Amino acid sequence: MDDIARRQNLDRLDSLATVLDLIRTGRVHSKPEIARETGFGRTVVSMRVSELMDSGLIVEDGLAQSSGGRAPRRLSFSESRALLLVAELGATSISVGVATLTGEIIASRREPSAIADGPDVVLTRVETLFDDLVAANPGEYGEIWGIGIGVPGPVEYRSGRPVSPPIMPGWDAYPIRERLESRYGAPVWVDNDVNLMALGEHRAGIADGADNLVFVKIGSGIGAGLISNGRLQRGDQGVAGDVGHIEIEADSSVLCRCGNYGCAEAIAGGSALLQRAREHLAGGGSISGYDGTAASVTLDDLASASQRGDRFARDLFDGSARSVGRLLATLVNIQNPSLVVLGGAVAGSSDSYLAIVKEVVFGRSTALATRDLTIAMSRPSADIALRGAAQMIIEQLFSRDELGHWIDSHSPRALIATAV
């Protein structure tokens, strides 16, 4: 391609992605509306609409509203043109689902599964569940256009491989993408679970409409997903938002699993709280309502004790909330979000957790950064990471860069050779 042809092709892809985006998100419904919204000439609009209809991405269904004269044909996105497969691999469970091209989860399944069993055992089960779901939802959907996987550890986003994930023995550098691409003939994207939860909250959860958002998960560990101007921030390698290892206590003697001292996660994460509860019990202390051994105490036991007013349990969670508040105050000053969403078992453990986090954040962040800031709890939903995984696929498939690689062949299968 010479320079002029290349330039023209980029212009074409730009306008194609723009037109698709407008119809896909329901902002326009006819050619005259596209022309008004984009400023493209009638010929360009007609050409792009035909190309999108040829690929089956949009259809004409009836008449749109007329702004005078004959009513134009109504254009709609074919959300059932193909299926997306999504999965969230948790530490102790897996969730899988099938989604439409708009990211709606049509069906999902969840079951216990240990990530520590390694990639072969876990992914074999995920594949079986995918196959069952696809078999149960046949017919109109046709082929699979993309697969999105969330894992509980750091992922190098470009390659889709986990990188030294602390709670995923056997998964370091495992080629999840290559395995699933060769099995399903569809492009695969992998990200960490907290990023997908942030995406899920952004598109479908309580964050609907907030384009500057921080999602913080306080579970066994601590992690965050950052959305800035409507885009998930992955950073250079994919680890943006991995805030659990930010030092929040100088001169701390608490050693983190990463090898440093004073990390947020080592002080305020669920594993750290459990460790302190075990030491407390082993040293002869008691926890209200709990009569098991020190080794078998769980976060649920601590949460129930805290609800009953047990002083030790309550102090653990309140202390965690204050630490998380300090961490968030820093994030709020860096990122200036309009919404912070708290998720994870520790954040949901006590009524006072959210109140304490708010108090610390509003006390420590600058006045301007908190002027329109809302801090809220995530609504517990098994689907949120699955929705996020679907959203990840959609953002990739329909971005200008990726669209250019497959639109002419009418199937994202063409991305497999180019996705590195």
Q: Measured in Å, how far apart are the chain's first and last C-alpha atoms?
A: 23
Decide whether 29 or 245 has the Cβ nearer to Zn ion.
Answer: 245
Check binding of 255 to Zn ion (CB under 5 A): no
Let me know: does 317 contact 272? Beta carbons within 8 Å: no
* Number of chain positions touching Zn ion (CB under 5 A): 5
Q: Taking contact as CB under 5 A, which single stretch among the options 117-125, 200-208, 219-227, 248-256 is the one that binds Zn ion?
A: 248-256
Q: Contact 290/277 with Cβ under 8 angstroms?
A: no
- Tell me whether residue 49 or residue 264 sits nearer to Zn ion (CB atom): 264
Instruction: Record the tokens describing residue 123, joined without a space.
Output: 């992914």
Helix (H, G, I), strand (E, B) or coil at 315: helix
If binding is defined by CB under 5 A, does position 58 make contact with Zn ion? no
- Tokens coding 126: 């995920």
Nearer to Zn ion, 81 or 245 (CB): 245
Complex with Zn ion: residue 10 or 255, whichever CB lies closer: 255
Residue 354, classed as helix, strand or coil, is helix
- Under rule CB under 5 A, residue 269 binds Zn ion: no
Least spacing, CB of residue 337 vs Zn ion, in Å: 23
C-beta of 256 vs 386, nearer to Zn ion? 256
263 binds Zn ion (CB under 5 A): yes
Two tokens, residue 311: 């002083």
In a 10 Å sphere around its CB, with 0-12 CB exposed, 13-18 middle and 19+ buried, how is residue 372 labelled?
A: exposed
Least separation, in Å, of the C-beta of 192 and Zn ion? Answer: 16
* Closest distance of CB 264 from Zn ion, Å: 8
Interaction of residue 264 with Zn ion, rule CB under 5 A: no
Identify the residue among 63, 258, 382, 417 touching Zn ion (CB under 5 A). Answer: 258
Task: Give 418's contacts (C-beta < 8 A, 6+ positions apart).
Answer: 405
Distance, in Å, from the CA atom of 372 to the CA atom of 36, rounded to the nearest integer, reads 33
Query: Which among 84-92, 252-260, 370-378, 392-400 is the span making contact with Zn ion, rule CB under 5 A?
Result: 252-260
Q: Which residues of 394-419 are buried (b: 16+ CB within 10 A; e: fewer)?
A: bbbbbeeebbbbbbeeebbbbbbeeb
Q: Given the complex with Zn ion, which of 147 and 256 has the nearer CB atom?
A: 256
Mode of pairing for the β-strands spanning 374-377 and 339-343: parallel
Q: How many CB atoms lie within 10 A of CB 284?
A: 7
- The CB-of-187 to Zn ion minimum distance in angstroms stands at 33
Minimum distance, C-beta of residue 351 to Zn ion, in the bound complex (Å): 29
For residue 183, give every residue at least 6 positions away whose Cβ sits within 8 Å of its Cβ, in sequence order, or none. 127
CB of 171 to Zn ion, least distance (A): 19
- From 29, 217, 245, 314, residue interacting with Zn ion (rule: CB under 5 A): 245
Query: Strand, helix or coil at 78?
Result: coil
Only one of the segments 93-101, 112-120, 183-191, 256-264 lies at the binding site for Zn ion (rule: CB under 5 A); that segment is 256-264
Nearer to Zn ion, 263 or 393 (CB): 263
Nearest to 302 by CA among 335, 282, 280: 280
For binding to Zn ion (CB under 5 A), which residues are involved? 245, 256, 258, 260, 263
